[in-house]
Amino acid sequence: MPRFEPHPQRRPALVAGASSGIGAATAVLLAAAGHPVALGARRTDRCEEIAETIRKDGGEAVAHPLDVSDSGSVDRFVSAAAAALGDPEIVVSGAGDLGAERVHELASDDFAAQLQVHLVGAHRLVSRVVPGMVARRRGDVVLVSSDVVRAPRTRMGAYVAAKNGVEGMARALQMELEGTGVRASVVRPGPTMTGMGMGWDAETTGEVLEEWVRWGLARHPYFLRAEDVAAVVAAVVAAPRGTHLTLVEVQPEAAVARPPASGPPPASGAAGAAPAPVPEVER
């Protein structure tokens, strides 16, 4: 007899931050795997466009407004998703945005606002969804973090603090859920090509990238694609019951270098490497 019942074939999934980036790519990939998906974000029109594409491709998807900084909005989103698709088996928390202020120049209210979205928003989803999962003795919670936890970046102090909080909360949650049948996992993307940070003006972007290069945060110019990270999220939730991928860091692979035709090997630390982009979250 197996130690665990297998995953149900149909696993309703909630994706927060699903209007673009990693969230949108994750919703599409989970739907392609046969899971009904509820897409939530403040840009409901964009979520509905993605949901319509999923439905045209034969999947099952609904869109509903979601602002993770508002407990009432989280309650309405989860209730609407459950009514349309059934009790959630998967929840992916990836909503958020990003500023470019230095810690000492950032107003405390703005600092707190980023914590509200990235950290407290993730907790709102967890506290609303996980008790039902525990009662049903199964489920997957995926918290999208960032490699800034391991390698902090300048001009991202509130984001760095929030993501450290997310991973600390996740570790405590993992300990508390042990033996319940519910898995909490962290997916930690490195530099990812998304819309985050694209609203910065050219001067700010240049300053930020120069600071990151100075601190050694740029190894090569290649970025992850949103669908690359989504594939890891899908793999985490598809892992057979009885296994638990607690933390998966995803980094972009550098291009395979061609050996020189002749002459000495190139010196290490070649100049001109593009700096790393903004790590992903939002959406």
d(CA 259, CA 141): 44
Sheet with 182-189, strands from edge to edge, namely: 61-65, 37-41, 13-16, 90-93, 139-144, 182-189, 247-250
What is the spatial distance between Cα 263 and Cα 213, in angstroms, rounded to a whole number?
Answer: 29
For CA atoms 13, 17, 20, 21, the dihedral sign is: negative
Which active-site residues does the annotation give?
Answer: 159
CA angle 22, 23, 25 (to 5 degrees): 65
Cα separation, 225 vs 83, in Å, equals: 33
208 Cβ partners below 8 Å, 6+ apart? 100, 154, 155, 197, 200
Interatomic CA distance for residues 66 and 76, integer angstroms:
8
